[in-house]
């Protein structure tokens, strides 16, 4: 039995990043503008630090100005908001990213909404969300993970998804709802499912496109998937496994890859699928913000 095509997000992201690097050099030459990305991290959570380092490395490799602001775990909310206010006013900064999650004493919504929409390269501001839901994304920022997912889907099925059915597993504001909006704009017929959905496996089994973004390792099994479907696995779960008698941590998705790859037409692996695309789209949004600041887009 033929296995599904493995969608290579790593190579796709590398191609996208190479193009961003070329456009960055051209923008600097033509308008003396270097895209600037400022990342704010609170505390010393190891996973967050890894993500921030990867983003900083990617920004620098694209030729961006990259600034990292590390704040103590105990930082007050007014101090975080003052930093964001300074970054909002800094003309060298085109994108501001606050690494989530934040400590419990900080209000995540207040802090993310303090970033002005034109520098909200994560796409979390209500104005950007509203524009996405209204189908007006020419001057808005789309959240990076859904934007990356959409590129991978378009690579497989084209930009017009008329006649295709899509099921999104998960209704988060960061992935589930935005990817559903993007799929709708591409003319797919979209169903959003979640923990309260009855007979979830049956709903998923009719879909030509499945996007799994629920945070439960190996939840999606082969008997959930329509033969030939495109399966996009957004899940990044750290699970403990015993290898050669030793406990080790392994990254796995929300999809049981070994099972589903026998049925699907194309599938993203974890790692190496959606993850690299998320960082590439962050760079793309930051470059776009810099171009908009010069009146070249929007």
Options 55, 164, 177, 226, the catalytic residue: 55
How far apart are alpha carbons 162 and 136 in whole angstroms?
Answer: 19
Q: What angle do CA 267, 164, 130 make, to 5 degrees?
A: 90
Residue with tokens 């810099």: 290
How far apart are alpha carbons 26 and 11 in whole angstroms?
Answer: 23
- Is 122 known to be catalytic? yes
Options 120, 122, 208, 233, the catalytic residue: 122
215-245 burial string, b = 16+ CB within 10 Å, else e? eebbbbeeebbbeebbbbbbbbbeeeeeeee
Options 5, 15, 34, 99, the catalytic residue: 99
Backbone phi, psi, residue 24, to 5°? -65, -45
Q: Torsion angle of alpha carbons 189, 160, 23, 61, nearest 10°?
A: 50
- Is 99 known to be catalytic? yes
Whether a cis peptide bond, with omega within 30° of 0, leads into 271 is yes
How far apart are alpha carbons 74 and 281 in whole angstroms?
Answer: 31
- Is 68 known to be catalytic? no
Catalytic residues: 55, 99, 122
């Amino acid at each position: 039995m033929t296995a599904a095509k493995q969608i290579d997000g790593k190579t796709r992201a590398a191609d996208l990043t190479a193009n961003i690097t070329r456009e960055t050099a051209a923008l600097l030459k033509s308008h003396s503008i270097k895209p600037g990305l400022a990342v704010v991290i609170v505390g010393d959570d190891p996973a967050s630090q890894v993500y921030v380092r990867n983003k900083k490395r990617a920004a620098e490799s694209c030729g961006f100005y990259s600034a990292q602001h590390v704040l103590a775990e105990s930082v007050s909310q007014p101090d975080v908001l003052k930093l964001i206010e300074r970054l909002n006013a800094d003309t060298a900064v085109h994108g501001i990213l606050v690494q989530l999650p934040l400590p419990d004493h900080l209000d995540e919504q207040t802090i993310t909404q303090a970033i002005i929409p034109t520098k909200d390269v994560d796409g979390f501001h209500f104005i950007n969300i509203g524009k996405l839901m209204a189908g007006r994304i020419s001057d808005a920022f789309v959240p990076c993970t859904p934007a990356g997912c959409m590129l991978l889907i378009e690579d497989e099925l084209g930009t017009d998804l008329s006649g295709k059915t899509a099921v999104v597993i998960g209704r988060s504001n960061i992935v589930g709802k935005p990817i559903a909006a993007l799929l709708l704009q591409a003319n797919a017929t979209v169903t959003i499912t979640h923990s309260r959905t009855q007979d979830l496996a049956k709903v998923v089994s009719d879909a030509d496109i499945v996007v799994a973004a629920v945070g439960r390792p190996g939840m999606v099994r082969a008997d959930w998937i329509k033969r030939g479907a495109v399966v996009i696995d957004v899940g990044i779960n750290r699970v403990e496994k015993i290898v050669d008698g030793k406990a080790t941590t392994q990254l796995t998705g929300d999809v049981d890859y070994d099972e589903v790859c026998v049925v699907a037409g194309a599938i993203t692996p974890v790692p190496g699928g959606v993850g690299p695309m998320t960082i590439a789209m962050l760079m793309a949004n930051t470059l776009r913000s810099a171009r908009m600041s010069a009146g070249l887009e929007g």
